[in-house]
């Protein structure tokens, strides 16, 4: 009787021989014959195996954007997984009392539709990227695979798949959370996100009520304008330019827009984008119902190239101290090659029509620094100036912070707001209750004191600037007079010779030289 050790030895030898034979077969067997063999093998299996399989990839063939069908299937199967799958993934949803469960990788669930049974499998595989590298990288490819009997083909193709899509979309809407996205640097996923929970609304936004209502009407008209934009032949998108001093509520305005429209927010950091191609890929990966935000656009991108030149000069000294050169990939990650042309194409080029129902928002503290081509109508359709706090904005803040609609101090505050500049952020800070002993009266008095102090500070600053300006003008005038005086003195010291022996003109006089005799004057190199 063969011992167990000998059995395992023989089994290992047979396995090794089979692997060697398979390797030889793959190496020397022609590809064309291999394809023919595989073709007829599949036909043979088809006669015996009566089931049909359909695969649904997470990304399209071009790997440009996530498949909507895949997302719908994922939402649909989340309801089946909770009761039928053995391995699950869990995540929470804001406002939901229970966790949302989904299928884990390589898990199978069974579904029934009109009396037929179907099998869904969640699959995940790693494939090597085609780009050449000494360190090959792998990317995960996910897909769902549907299996059913071939006699149910008509039902599955005709009604079941449409049922899955519709149900999945409805479930996704009920579980939808607004998200805040940020673009990633380096390799991997293009966007990372967190749940967006900013509480700002237009009701709490401190600005003139009429202007606020105008913005709300504009946004609501856009959200219902799909057919209208199609009719006029424009991509379903709209640009907003928010400009004004720091602290005037530009970021709060974006949050209020998101809450009103129920749109996701994509915070695009241009300095983290390698080049125009990567910028285009980021755009393609943005879903519909989104607000694309580029904050401080005047600082986000140096279109003149001076930043790169300055950075190279700064790094030159560092390179002299550090003898180890940087790797090329490190240099690429620290340098953005996005151009004005690439940014303009991002806003309203051909690729900007992908997705639809998007708002593009730029913010800046210095609108005069922006290239006119960047903010012209058609790109930034609506320009919104967020300036210093007016009395109407103050009343909104007083209602929000103090629950006060009117007060005897309002008249004084209105007068002071008309005489000095203070941002809504500074006004709100003075109105905020900071202890249990504070009340509306103390907060309003604190605001009045702050406004009076700001008024005095502004007057002192203006006087100081006027003094410096007067001193600068006086200095420039004195330098100018000194130059004119010096020029006049030089002209008096010039000696003009007319070419005659007896006549020498010096300082406008005849036959007269200061400290020099006529005989010492040389004319044409000859001493008279």
Burial 485-512 (b: 16+ CB within 10 A, else e): eeeeeeeeeeeeeeeeeeebbbeeeeee
Task: For tokens 């006049």, name the residue.
Answer: 488
Continuous segment of H or E residues that includes residue 377: none
Tell whether 225 is covered by a domain: yes
Question: Among 355, 385, 415, which residue terminates a domain?
Answer: 385
Return the SS3 of 200: coil
Four-point Cα dihedral 269, 273, 279, 281, nearest 10: -110
Q: Work out how many domains the chain is built from and give that number.
A: 4
pLDDT at residue 487, as a whole number: 80
The pairs formed by 158-163 with CB atoms below 8 angstroms and a separation of 24 or more are: 159/114, 160/113, 160/114, 160/118, 163/113
Within-domain flag for 238: yes
Neighbours of 347 (CB within 10 A): 19
The DSSP symbol for 184 reads: P
Return the CATH number at 229.
Answer: 3.40.50.300
My answer on whether 412 and 371 are in the same domain is: no
User: Residue 154: helix, strand or coil by DSSP?
Assistant: helix
Statement to judge: residues 228 and 370 lie in one domain: yes
Give me the residues of the chain with pLDDT under 70, please. Answer: 1-9, 11-12, 22-35, 37-48, 60-65, 82-83, 91-100, 126-140, 186-188, 301-335, 490-528
Domain end residue (candidates: 449, 467, 485):
467
Cα–Cα distance, 503 to 492 (Å, whole number):
18
Domain extent at residue 247: 191-303+331-385
Cα 372-375-379 angle, rounded to 5 deg: 130
Does residue 319 lie within any of the structural domains?
Answer: no
Pair 200, 340 in one domain: yes
Q: Which of 356, 385, 414 is the last residue of a domain?
A: 385
The Cα–Cα gap between 20 and 111 comes to 43
In a domain? residue 74: no
412 and 517 belong to one structural domain: no
The pLDDT of residue 503 is 45
Same-domain check for residues 208 and 245: yes
| Domain assignment of residue 47, yes or no | no
Same domain, 379 and 282: yes
**148, 204, 271, 378 from 343: Cα distances, Å:** 48, 33, 12, 14
Q: Is residue 498 located within the same domain as residue 431?
A: no
In a domain, 502, yes or no: yes
In a domain, 219, yes or no: yes
Q: 357 with 423, same domain?
A: no
440 and 350 inside one domain:
no
Residue 359 lies in a domain: yes
Q: Kindly report the number of other CB atoms within 10 A of residue 356's CB atom.
A: 16
Considering the domain architecture, whether residues 209 and 349 belong to the same structural domain is answered as: yes
**Residues 299 and 208 both lie in one domain:** yes
User: So what's the pLDDT on residue 288?
Assistant: 87
H and E: helices and strands count for the chain: 18, 16
336 with 461, same domain: the answer is: no
């Amino acid at each position: 009787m063969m011992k167990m050790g000998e059995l395992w030895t023989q089994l290992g030898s047979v396995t090794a021989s089979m692997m060697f034979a398979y390797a030889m077969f793959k190496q020397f067997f022609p590809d064309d014959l291999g394809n023919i063999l595989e073709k007829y093998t599949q036909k043979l299996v088809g006669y015996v195996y009566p089931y049909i399989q359909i695969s649904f990839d997470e990304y399209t063939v071009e790997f440009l954007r996530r498949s909507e069908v895949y997302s719908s299937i994922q939402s649909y199967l989340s309801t089946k997984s909770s009761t039928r799958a053995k391995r699950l993934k869990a995540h929470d949803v804001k406002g939901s009392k229970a966790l949302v469960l989904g299928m884990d990788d390589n898990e199978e669930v069974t579904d029934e539709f009109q009396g037929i049974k179907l099998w869904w499998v969640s699959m995940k595989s790693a494939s090597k990227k085609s780009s050449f590298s000494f360190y090959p990288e792998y990317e995960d490819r996910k897909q769902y695979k549907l299996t059913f009997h071939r006699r149910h083909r008509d039902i599955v193709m005709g009604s079941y798949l449409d049922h899955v899509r519709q149900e999945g979309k409805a479930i996704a809407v009920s579980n939808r959370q607004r998200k805040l996205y940020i673009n990633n640097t380096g390799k991997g996923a293009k966007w990372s996100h967190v749940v967006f929970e900013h509480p700002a609304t237009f009701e709490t936004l401190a600005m003139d009520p009429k202007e606020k209502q105008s913005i709300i009407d504009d946004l609501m008209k856009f959200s219902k304008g799909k057919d209208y934009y199609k009719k006029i032949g424009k991509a379903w998108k709209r640009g907003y330019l928010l400009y004004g001093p720091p602290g005037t509520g530009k970021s709060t305005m974006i949050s209020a827009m998101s809450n009103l429209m129920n749109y996701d927010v994509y915070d695009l950091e241009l300095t983290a984008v390698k080049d125009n191609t990567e910028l285009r890929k980021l755009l393609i990966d943005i879903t519909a119902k989104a607000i694309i935000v580029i904050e401080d656009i005047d600082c986000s991108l140096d279109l003149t190239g001076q930043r790169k030149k300055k950075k190279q000069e700064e790094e030159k000294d560092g390179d002299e101290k550090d003898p180890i050169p940087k790797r090329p990939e490190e240099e690429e990650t620290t340098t953005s090659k996005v151009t004005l042309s690439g940014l303009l194409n991002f806003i309203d080029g051909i690729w900007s029509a992908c997705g639809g129902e998007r708002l593009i928002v730029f913010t800046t503290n210095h609108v005069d620094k922006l290239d006119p081509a960047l903010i012209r109508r058609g790109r930034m359709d609506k320009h919104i100036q967020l300036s210093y706090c007016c009395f109407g904005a103050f009343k909104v803040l007083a209602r929000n912070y103090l629950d006060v609609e009117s007060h005897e101090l309002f008249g004084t505050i209105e007068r002071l707001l008309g005489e000095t500049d203070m941002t809504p952020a500074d006004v709100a800070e003075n109105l905020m209750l900071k202890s249990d002993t504070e009340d509306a009266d103390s907060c309003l008095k604190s605001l009045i004191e702050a406004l009076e102090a700001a008024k005095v500070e502004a007057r002192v600053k203006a006087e100081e600037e006027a003094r410096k300006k007067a001193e600068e003008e006086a200095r420039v005038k004195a330098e100018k007079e000194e130059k004119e005086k010096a020029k006049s003195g030089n002209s008096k010291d010039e000696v003009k010779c007319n070419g005659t022996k007896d006549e020498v003109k010096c300082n406008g006089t005849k036959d007269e030289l200061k400290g020099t005799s006529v005989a010492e004057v040389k004319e044409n190199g000859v001493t008279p």
